[in-house]
Structure 1
Amino acid sequence: MTKLLPIQGERYGQNWNYEGLHLIAKGAFGQIYKAKLIEPGNSLNADFIALKVVHFKNEEVLSDESAREKMRKRFQRLLEIKHHCLVVYHQITIDSTTSPTSFTVHLLMENCSGGDLAGRLQKVKATRTNARSNLPARITLDLRTAVCYAQQIAEGLQCLHRNCIIHGDLKPGNVLIRVVRDEAGIQEQLVIGDLDDFIQMQNNTTCSKDVSTTHTCGTLRYMSPEMHWKMSQTPTVSPGRKVDIWSLGCIMLEMVNCILGIDQLWLRNVKSSADKKRGDNVEDYSYALLVCAGYVPIVPKETPAAFADCICRCLSFPSEQRPRAAEVMEMLHDPDVLHKMQSATSDSCKCSLV
């Protein structure tokens, strides 16, 4: 058990006291702890909350007052964006006194006790394996639930995009499961998390210059072609809202494949002599190369026509052909989406690798 006490520094949002109890997750730039609120009578009526500790090493920010002010506004923005399909940030503390070349940020947010969508899909796969080996089955996923999940993610994206915010790294691991207990029983709701590395748009159509030219984010399997090109700088492309729509299409496809028991999530098992890059495995890098070459993931023929069409439109290229988040929501509320899994995909759906 780790005792992690609040840091001293610039604090925004709720003035709560807490202590970190134990490590939940660890990444390249920080850690996430399950924290205990020690402030009596807090407005959450909850004992536990999530604490994300992020470490930055940026001499430019530390030496430039205008850059520091941009950083403050960036984190304050997280406290302003409120939506039931987004993770809630309650308190942010910035400390730049521990080191002359780095600073630490404590992000106090809601504790989503249901885990994340990536973990849920892994449990579904494990359940299928258990069923084949006559072990007890516990976790399942059906099409109606998958569509409901996609609706909630699209609704969260719509809120972000309306506020000129691009997530930039949407994937199952960054989609959290909120557990709500009320008179009706226990309900689950998906919320988009990991918002603290968002891309701020300068206006309604373009990203701010400092972000569009220097900001690199995303996970290879869920990155759109334009983001892959941006990484390789051939050519330099400023990310837009539609990078999130591509990622949503990848998530919907992954859920469909999970339901159908397809282990190969993306493409045929294409082997490449490409070297590993950014720490990702060769298969992920091979997928990135194919996406850049104009290939798109395969939508299984068993997918209901309306749902398949929605996935294909999200995976369209160029990005202008992809729908807005609001349009995705409209498509997902179409009754045809909930047809049986045996329904064939529409003739107009041409998402396949040839």
Structure 2
Amino acid sequence: MMDQPTVFSDEFDLDSRWLVDPKLLFVGPKIGEGAHAKVYEGKYKNQNVAIKVFHKGETPEEIAKRGSRFAREVSMLTRVQHKNLVKFIGACKEPVMVVVTELLLGGSLRKYLLSLRPRPLDIRVAVGFALDIAQAMECLHSHGIIHRDLKPENLLLTADQKTVKLVDFGLAREETLTEMMTAETGTYRWMAPELYSTVTLRHGEKKHYNHKVDAYSFAIVLWELLHNRTPFEEC
């Protein structure tokens, strides 16, 4: 795992309380991969953990962008703790950018739904999951944080598959009345209309929105929990 040092902005200083020693990280099999990082099952100080390793980036612009994403995710994880948010264990910036969290062995909500399809969830299970998700979002919003990417892939189950926890804060942002945030953020089937436009947006164009974008995504996930179908599957 330990590759060449990643160039990183000095503006982000990782609190020593959350600094993990990369020499104590044991990296096991890969359990997930996205555009910005790979996630591995592993151990840290004999504790089973999930290890998210951020891609370095090839150009100075990519390196800076991934550094900002890493800094944002760590900042959000250190600010909020809740039983329905993945537990943050620590992070390190060198020799690569790594975020370490608890390991959730129940798989993603998406995988769970697909395993049952075409059968719907038991209504009590669906409501229980919905309440878990709502409480996670309420915690974030009470701290002025918008997740911006609420979807079944970012909702993981505990080993007994009875509790849902929200993960992946790479797109999360602080909500302010004046901040203009990047449009076209998230995954289209779960995105609120104000996150995209019928008019093609210029790269990096900004527009204002608030925590209600998460409420829209929650409504789509709730529909999915009740029907066990892909949203807008006819599109």
TM range (shorter): 0.7 to 0.9
Return the offset for 1:77.
3.5
Letter in 2 for 1:34: E
Structure ID, larger Rg? 1
1:145 paired with 2:125, answer yes
Counterpart residue number, 1:194: 168
**Structure 1 residues 236, 28: CA separation in 2 closer, same or farther (over 3 Å shift)?**
closer
1:35 paired with 2:42, answer yes
Letter in 1 for 2:40: Y
**Structure 1 residues 74, 248: CA separation in 2 closer, same or farther (over 3 Å shift)?**
closer
Counterpart residue number, 1:240: 210
**Structure 1 residues 231, 53: CA separation in 2 closer, same or farther (over 3 Å shift)?**
farther
Correspondence for 1:105 among 68, 73, 97: 97
Q: Deviations over 1:43-86 (max 9, x none)?
A: xxx3x1100111254736978xxxx7997476233223111111
**Structure 1 residues 215, 105: CA separation in 2 closer, same or farther (over 3 Å shift)?**
farther
Partners of 2:146 and 2:195 lie apart in 1 by 12
Partner SS for 1:23: strand
The within-5 A match list for 1:1-354 is: 4-5=1-2, 12=15, 13-16=18-21, 17-37=24-44, 39=45, 46=47, 48-57=48-57, 59=60, 72=71, 75-95=74-94, 104-125=96-117, 128=119, 141-179=121-159, 186=160, 188-201=162-175, 203=176, 205-206=177-178, 208-209=179-180, 212=181, 214=182, 216-229=184-197, 232-233=200-201, 237-258=207-228, 263=229, 265-266=231-232, 269=234, 283=235
**Structure 1 residues 49, 167: CA separation in 2 closer, same or farther (over 3 Å shift)?**
same
Partners of 1:141 and 1:70 lie apart in 2 by 35
Partner SS for 1:240: coil
Count of aligned pairs: 220
Partners of 1:77 and 1:187 lie apart in 2 by 25
Partners of 1:241 and 1:94 lie apart in 2 by 30
Counterpart residue number, 1:319: none
Return the offset for 1:19.
1.4
Question: Of Structure 1 and Structure 2, which has the larger fraction of its residues in helix?
Answer: 1
Q: Taking CA–CA contacts closer than 8 Å with sequence separation of 6 or more, which of the two structures ends up with the larger relative contact order? A: 2
Partner SS for 1:49: strand
Letter in 1 for 2:172: F
Q: TM-score, normalised by structure 1?
A: 0.54
**Structure 1 residues 77, 174: CA separation in 2 closer, same or farther (over 3 Å shift)?**
closer
Letter in 2 for 1:167: H
Q: Answer whether contact 1:7 1:93 (CA < 8 A) is retained.
A: no
Return the offset for 1:253.
0.5
